[in-house]
Amino acid sequence: MDFGPQYNHYNADITRTVFIGEPTAKHREVYQIVLDSQMKAIESIAPGKKCSGIDAVAREHIASKGYGENFGHGLGHSLGIDVHEEPRFSKTCDTVLEPGMVMTVEPGIYIEGWGGVRIEDDVLVTENGFEVLTKATKDLICI
Ligand SMILES: [Mn+2]
């Protein structure tokens, strides 16, 4: 589920993956890989870093687990008045992060005929690093 509120014309953006029924070992494995890649990327956010470098942190983790071909989009995007703004966390974005930027971090793994997992949080670039603005749980949700 990918959604978000608006407040005073500014947007937030969140994705959570929900499992229906009992998740299999593979569901849990893929979920953990996506979550680990997201946390590694978030923890690498700081002023002075290139956007492409943050994308690479998540992408390299997913690739190291054998799912590189299953992560077919950029890691994230800036947001504000529009939900999707520049700069992007992508392979080709050379923009350097500055304090005050708000970026999404949303790695995913999608497997044809099986399903997909994406986890998205909004992250503020601060003077010394980052602050995660999204407070919703990232524990595995089963209904
Ligand atoms: Mn998004």
- What are the residue ranges spanned by the domains of the chain? 2-13+22-136
Q: Give residue-wise pLDDT tens across range 86-124.
A: 999 999 999 999 999 999 999 999 999 999 999 999 999
If you write DSSP's letter for every residue of the chain in order, what string do you get? -EE--EETTEE--EE--EESSSPPHHHHHHHHHHHHHHHHHHHT--TT-BHHHHHHHHHHHHHHTT-GGG--S-SEEE-SSSSSEEEEESTT--PBP-TT-EEEE--EEEETTTEEEE-BEEEEE-SSSEEE---S--SPEE-
Binned at pLDDT 50, 70 and 90, residue 134 comes out as very high
Q: Give residue-wise pLDDT tens across range 30-49.
A: 999 999 999 999 999 999 99
Q: What integer pLDDT is reported at residue 133 of this predicted model?
A: 97
Q: What integer pLDDT is reported at residue 11 of this predicted model?
A: 97
Q: What integer pLDDT is reported at residue 70 of this predicted model?
A: 98
Entry pTM: 0.97
Q: How many angstroms separate the Cα of 33 from the Cα of each of 82, 91, 93, 103?
A: 29, 20, 24, 21
Average pLDDT over residues 129-134: 98
Q: What is the largest CA-CA distance in the chain?
A: 44
Ligand 1 centroid vs 15 CA: distance in angstroms? Answer: 7
Q: Give residue-wise pLDDT tens across range 12-30.
A: 999 999 999 999 999 999 9
Ligand 1 centroid vs 101 CA: distance in angstroms? Answer: 15
Ligand 1 centroid vs 125 CA: distance in angstroms? Answer: 16
Q: What integer pLDDT is reported at residue 45 of this predicted model?
A: 98
Ligand 1 centroid vs 2 CA: distance in angstroms? Answer: 7
Written out in words, the top-level CATH class of the domain with range 2-13+22-136 is: alpha beta
- CB atoms within 5 A of ion ligand 1 belong to 13, 104
